[in-house]
A and B are shown apart, each in its own frame.
Chain A
Amino acid sequence: MSPEILKIANSFGVWVLAAVTVSMVLIQAVLFTRLAYTTADKIGYPREKCRQAFRTGLITAIGPSIAIFIVMVGMMSVVGGPITWLRLSVIGAAPTELTAATVGAQARGVEFGGPNYDLLALATSWWTMAINGFGWLIIVSLFTHKLEDIREKIGGGDPKWLAALSGAAMLGVFGYLNTSHVLAGGGRLIAVATGAIAMVILLKIAERAKWLREYTLGLAMLIGMALAVWLG
């Protein structure tokens, strides 16, 4: 790919336009945080707990964000800095976005990031990523409130069952997400197994040492990673 293309992809105008979308994510987070605090006040839920929840989110996200950071730098060298910034702030995770960018190049008939990857191929990659992300967003924008109606029906106003239901959904989702890593064997299987065991042990310890709770998931992740490198 010629440096000319990357220069256009990294031009100031693209940065500004990418910033518009990224700030949308930030604005939404601020609006929902404010609403959460005012609602907590109204229903008499303590502010201290609210701050604790927010802090837990901040801390737990550090490890995965480092992983995103590393993958992101690789993606920037092909489709440019600002568009990668946009794509990994909005809906996308790196594998999905790279697939969409590759499909765009294929529709143009060239290899993704190869020597024939021209400006038209770049435009097609960008277009494909945007239209693909829009698929999820339009469904979520239009139909999420309908899903709430369905949940209320299935939940039937029984809070104990509602708790069991979301726990089961979580186990189903993460059971599925773990499957490919379990089947892959080797280091990835070790990461899954030791991450799970470390988490169970840490949560048991945190029953006594409350201060540990906020760090359990981040620590379990690091232990799983370290053992996968060591044993895998």
Chain B
Amino acid sequence: MDEATKRLEEFERIWKKPVIRIGSITVLLGGLFAFLPSLYLWLRYGVFPPLSMALKAWGMIAAAFGAFYIVEPISYYAILGLSGTYMSFLSGNISNLRLPCASMAQEVTEVKAGTPEAEIVATLGIAGSIITNLIGVTLAALLGYALIRLFPPAIADAFKVYTVPAIFGAVFGQFSLRYPKVAVFGLGIPLLLLGVLKGIPVWLVIPASVFGSIGIARIFYNLERQRR
């Protein structure tokens, strides 16, 4: 057994196994605990949607988001990795917080993508973003009404409307710098599907963009290897 395989097997034992144990338990508990306030309304005030209404609401929301339950974890996995997936899905705000913070942490530490070190660095970047986010939402919950008046309406509107596209554009810029050729397809595929062809459901567009871009990257990668 060579040194590299030995190192990976060691990493498997000291990292992956405990990550799976911590991750699967905390994610499941988080999901279950989220029902507590609904139970409280039932036990304290005797109010709970009757079965027919509960099922109707469930059916409607599953029709809207059900496909994403499966598509998103698969599509984001190559970026978030093992611990990143458990953390990001429990804490949410994946595209506007977790993915940008994980990739910035890797950029700043100049770690090689796809290595054990990269996974540790991404985990810490996401952990840092969770702390900032928890402080933010807790402040909002406790002092939101008082603090919101501190923002002039024009600035509040700018944050509301433009933060998301600006950060999405910036992350795209960051990776275009590294893989400019793939970037053309990364934006081209969804633009073609949503802007030109239209009518294609969004839950199909996400995997088409992700796995389409991965396929294109593989072709470029093979071409480059042949050239050497």
Q: Does B199 contact A (CB under 8 A)?
A: no
Contact A174 B133 (CB under 8 A): no
A157 to B9, CA, bound (A): 12
Contact B179 A171 (CB under 8 A): yes
A101 to B178, CA, bound (A): 40
Q: Does A209 contact B (CB under 8 A)?
A: no
* Dominant secondary structure of chain A at its interface with chain B: helix
A interface, size bucket: 35 or more
Q: Which of A145, A183, A200 contacts B173 (CB 8 A)?
A: A200
- Nearest 7 CB-CB pairs, A to B? A57-B128, A224-B166, A162-B114, A171-B186, A195-B169, A196-B173, A137-B31
Q: Which of A166, A192, A213 contacts B169 (CB 8 A)?
A: A192
User: Quick one: given A123-B42, A163-B112, A193-B169, are A53 and B182 in contact (CB under 8 Å)?
Assistant: no
A14 to B16, CA, bound (A): 36
User: Quick one: given A85-B138, A91-B92, A107-B49, are A175 and B73 in contact (CB under 8 Å)?
Assistant: no
Min Cβ gap A151→B in Å is 6
Which A residues between 47 and 73 are near B, CB-CB below 8 angstroms?
49-50, 52-73
A123 to B64, CA, bound (A): 20
Min Cβ gap A166→B in Å is 5
Which B residues between 86 and 107 are near A, CB-CB below 8 angstroms?
86-87, 89-97, 99-107
Contact B165 A224 (CB under 8 A): yes
A216 to B104, CA, bound (A): 9
Number of interchain pairs (Cβ within 8 Å) = 600
Query: Residues of B within 8 Å of A, CB-based: how many?
Result: 166
Contacts of B226 in A (CB 8 A): none
Contacts of A60 in B (CB 8 A): 100-101, 104-105, 125, 128-129
- Name the CB-closest residue of A to B28: A141
Contact B92 A92 (CB under 8 A): yes
User: Quick one: given A167-B182, A220-B166, are A73 and B159 in contact (CB under 8 Å)?
Assistant: no
Q: Does B201 contact A (CB under 8 A)?
A: no
Contact B49 A178 (CB under 8 A): no
Min Cβ gap A229→B in Å is 5
Contact B69 A217 (CB under 8 A): no
Contact B90 A178 (CB under 8 A): no
Contact B163 A67 (CB under 8 A): yes
Q: Mark B127-142, 1 if CB is under 8 A from A, else 0.
A: 1111111111111111
Contact A137 B90 (CB under 8 A): yes
A147 to B56, CA, bound (A): 32
- Name the CB-closest residue of B to A24: B30
- Name the CB-closest residue of B to A138: B31
Q: Which of A82, A135, A197, A216 contacts B37 (CB 8 A)?
A: A82
- Name the CB-closest residue of A to B23: A144
Q: Mark A108-148, 1 if CB is under 8 A from B, else 0.
A: 10000000000110111011111111111111111111011
- Name the CB-closest residue of B to A174: B172
Q: Does A2 contact B (CB under 8 A)?
A: no
Which A residues between 31 and 49 are near B, CB-CB below 8 angstroms?
31-33, 35-36, 38-40, 42-43, 45, 49
User: Quick one: given A8-B45, A28-B87, A170-B79, are A217 and B28 in contact (CB under 8 Å)?
Assistant: no
A181 to B162, CA, bound (A): 10
Which A residues between 167 and 211 are near B, CB-CB below 8 angstroms?
167-183, 187-189, 191-200, 203
Q: Does A6 contact B (CB under 8 A)?
A: no
User: Quick one: given A36-B124, A191-B162, are A217 and B104 in contact (CB under 8 Å)?
Assistant: yes
Q: Which of B68, B115, B127 contacts A33 (CB 8 A)?
A: B127
Contact B163 A66 (CB under 8 A): yes
- Name the CB-closest residue of A to B103: A170
Q: Does A100 contact B (CB under 8 A)?
A: yes
Q: Which of B99, B112, B123, B170 contacts A224 (CB 8 A)?
A: B170
- Name the CB-closest residue of B to A49: B109
Which A residues between 84 and 102 are near B, CB-CB below 8 angstroms?
84-93, 96, 99-100
Min Cβ gap A32→B in Å is 5
Contact A192 B166 (CB under 8 A): yes
